[in-house]
Amino acid sequence: MSWIDDPAFTPDAPFGPQTLPYGVVPGGIAVRVGDRALLLRPLADHFGERLAPLLTAPTLNPLLAAGRPLWSELRAKLVELVTATSAPRGAELVGLDGAVLPFEVADYVDFYSSRHHAENVGRMFRPDGDPLLPNWTHIPIGYHGRAGTVVVSGTPVVRPEGQRRSSDGPVFGPSRRLDIEAEVGFVCGGPVATRLSPAKAVDHVFGVTLVNDWSARDIQAWEYQPLGPFLGKSFATSVGAWITPLEAFATARVTPPPLGNDVLPYLVEDRPWGLDIRIEVEWNGVLVSRPPFRTMSWTFAQQLAHLSSNGATVRPGDLIASGTVSGPNRDERGSFLELSWGGQEPVAVGDAERTFLEDGDTVRITATAPGVNGSVVGLSEVVGTIAPAISEG
């Protein structure tokens, strides 16, 4: 029993008391309870002098900087408050509308951790070669994205313009092969640190959210050699409005599939941090894919260990994303590039067939993970609708 009267606030619902993700709504920092948000500013006095200032800040960044002991203390107190039979003094429940990007993104790094995705792309782009490049099973491949174009779920995605290859040389114009990448993102915090081991990296991950790293495949194909993704990726990256604490995923831990070779000592995990997160991708309301995150070969702990191995820092507000999540089956592919096999196999989207995104199309990505005692843990949805290119609008 709880004083919160919301049918979506139960252990068998994604946003019950086992989840408690953090976000920022017009009233300030809040925790999601079912289909409502509990404002934390009015409850600050219940949390003591160390936590109270963190809950009255305009974003989650001061909380991110506070570190694991205070994160755990806050979560324990929140569980106590939301599961009580009577409302705490000052409690105020509000709607979820108006949620904004809950933290200021410091740096953004996108990885490439799905073997199935990497092999699918390799078969399409290098049909006469090995689909998997030789470094892939030894190193977490990644690239630096743009923190300034990370946007909250629901923000319209304007079709990007750029250079594309044509039979007469490069042309400039709107992307014709606009795509998604269904990913899982990890929001970093704790003290600024470098050269993290995988074990220590875990203490620098505050929570988990869903990511859609929108991709213009025709722009990407022309520009990515020899240095990799640039304008084909940097125009928009959507993230969920609510950050689910890493502690909520304790029951969801799994061992990733084997790489087929030993990794260097700095990437070895004593107890791996693979996660059994079940993702669903809807295209204009039609479920088109169920990518399984448990098939990812590299964990977030290994990614952070590699990212910081050269002396680069991990700091509060850093966002790292897993890379496209794809499984072995066609209906488990996390990008439309793969689902349509490079545009050759149209995807049934209701009464229409699609290969890549058209103006007005909407993509919704959701996910859950197993929780304690049969409960489910929710991740905040990521939704985006395609708006016409500026030159066409």
Q: Give the catalytic positions in this structure.
A: 117
Q: Which helix (H) or strand (E) holds 307?
A: helix 300-307
Q: Are 215 and 182 contacting, i.e. CB atoms less than 8 angstroms apart?
A: no
Alpha-carbon distance of 5 to 346, in angstroms, equals 45
**Backbone phi, then psi, for 46, in 5-degree steps?**
-80, -10
Angle at alpha carbon of residue 224, lines to 218 and 230, rounded to 5°: 90
Q: Are 256 and 273 contacting, i.e. CB atoms less than 8 angstroms apart?
A: no
Neighbouring CB atoms inside 10 A of 256's CB total 20
Alpha helices (runs of H) in 144-232, residue ranges in sequence order: 198-201, 217-223
Alpha carbons within 13 A on the beta-carbon side of 86:
2
Neighbouring CB atoms inside 10 A of 331's CB total 12
Residues in the chain: 393
Of the chain, the end-to-end C-alpha distance in Å amounts to: 52
Q: Are 145 and 237 contacting, i.e. CB atoms less than 8 angstroms apart?
A: yes
Q: Are 229 and 143 contacting, i.e. CB atoms less than 8 angstroms apart?
A: yes
Q: Which helix (H) or strand (E) holds 244?
A: strand 244-245
Burial of 348 by CB count in 10 Å (0-12 exposed, 13-18 middle, 19+ buried)? Answer: exposed
Angle at alpha carbon of residue 377, lines to 375 and 380, rounded to 5°: 150
Q: Name which of 244, 353, 325, 258 is nearest 297 in CA terms.
A: 258
Q: Give me 161's structure tokens.
A: 């313009």
